[in-house]
Amino acid sequence: MSDAEAPAEARRALVVMAHPDDIEFTCGGTVAQLSDDGWDVTFCLVTSGDKGTKDPMLGPADLGALREAEQEAAASELGIKRCIFLRVPDGHVEDGSEFRGQMVRVLREVRPELMITWDGYRGFNHRDHRTVGIAALDAVFPLSRNANSYAEQVATGVEPVRVNTVLLAGSNEPNYFVDVSDQLDRRIDALLRHASQVQAPNRDEMAKRMRNRSEQAARAGRIPWSEGFRRLTFGEARAPRRSDALKAEAKARAEAESSEHSETSDG
Ligand SMILES: [Zn+2]
C-alpha cells in the first residue's frame, strides 16, 4: 500500500472507570459505537473489583484476576482490544497527588482526544466512582497539559497532552446523548461476560430489562435507546466565532504595531 492509500491515524478515546462492569453499565453502547466508527478506544480500570463478593472462599487476588479476565472478555465484545489495570485496591481509591499522577501518566501515554469517566460531581455515588471521576477530570485539566506538572514524566519522554472533550457518565445533568439503538446485542453480550457480578438468568431476561429501561426513559421524556453524558470541551475546535474575530483583530493590531515599530526603531 502506498503512503497515499495509508489510512489516517485512528482517533483515540480513553475510558477511565473505577471497577470492572462500570463501563458496560454506563457507556457500553457508546464505546461500541466509537469502535464501529473506527476509533481506537482504550479502557483504564482503576481497581479490579477485588472486594465485591459474598463468597468467603474468594480472596482479593483470585477475585481481582477473575474480574480482569471478565473485563477483557467484555471489552472484546464491544470491539475494544486494550485494557489497562491500575490495581488500586477496590474501595480504597484516594484522590491524592500520587493517584492524580497515575491518571496523568495514562492520559499522556494513551494520548486520547476524548475521555469518558464517571461524573464525580453528581452527588451520592460509590466512593470510588466519585474519586475516579474527579481525579480523572483534574488530570485532563490542567495537569496533563502542563509540562511543569509531573515534570518527572516529561523528563522521561512522556509528553504533555491536550484532551479536547470529556464525557461524564452517570450524570444527573446529562447534556449530550449518544444513540446506541444499534448496539443492543453487543451491550447484552458484554454485560453477560461479567458473570461474577451481573445476575441475569439469561440473554432474553437481560434484553427485557434493557427494553424496560428504554421505555421508562421514553416515558420520562428522555431519548430512548441512548446513553446520556455531561459533555465538557476544552479544545479550540469549539471556540465561539467571536473569539476567532477577536484573534484576527489582535493579529492585525500586532502587525500594525510591529511595522510602526520597525519604521521608528532605527531612530
Ligand atoms: Zn463501580
Q: How far is the CA of 69 from the centre of ligand 1 (A)?
A: 16
Q: What is the pLDDT of residue 201?
A: 76
The larger pLDDT score, comparing residue 187 to residue 237, is at 187
What are the residues whose beta carbons fall under 8 Å from the beta carbon of 65, sequence distance 6 or more?
A: 48
pLDDT classification of 239: cutoffs 50, 70, 90: very low
Please state, rounded to an integer, the average pLDDT across all residues of the chain: 89
Q: How far is the CA of 141 from the centre of ligand 1 (A)?
A: 23
Task: Name residue, grid cell 452517570.
Answer: 170
pLDDT tens, position by position, 197-207? 988 778 899 89
Q: How far is the CA of 44 from the centre of ligand 1 (A)?
A: 13
Measuring CA to CA, how many Å separate 242 from each of 222, 235, 248, 255? 33, 15, 10, 20
Report helix, strand or coil for 100.
Answer: helix
Q: How far is the CA of 147 from the centre of ligand 1 (A)?
A: 32
Q: How far is the CA of 1 from the centre of ligand 1 (A)?
A: 44
Q: With a cut of 70, say whether residue 267 has pLDDT above it.
A: no
The winner for highest mean pLDDT among 91-95, 194-198, 206-210, 212-216 is: 91-95
pLDDT tens, position by position, 2-22? 445 556 788 999 999 999 999
Q: How far is the CA of 57 from the centre of ligand 1 (A)?
A: 22
Q: With a cut of 70, say whether residue 36 has pLDDT above it.
A: yes
The larger pLDDT score, comparing residue 3 to residue 110, is at 110
Kindly report whether the peptide bond that precedes residue 142 is cis, defined as omega within 30 degrees of 0: yes
Q: With a cut of 70, say whether residue 260 has pLDDT above it.
A: no
Q: What's the CA gap between 219 and 205, in Å, rounded?
A: 21
The larger pLDDT score, comparing residue 261 to residue 171, is at 171
Q: What is the model's pTM?
A: 0.84
pLDDT classification of 148: cutoffs 50, 70, 90: very high
Q: With a cut of 60, say whether residue 166 has pLDDT above it.
A: yes
Q: What is the pLDDT of residue 118?
A: 98
Provide the 8-state DSSP code for 226: E
The H or E element spanning position 125 is: none
Q: What is the pLDDT of residue 202?
A: 86
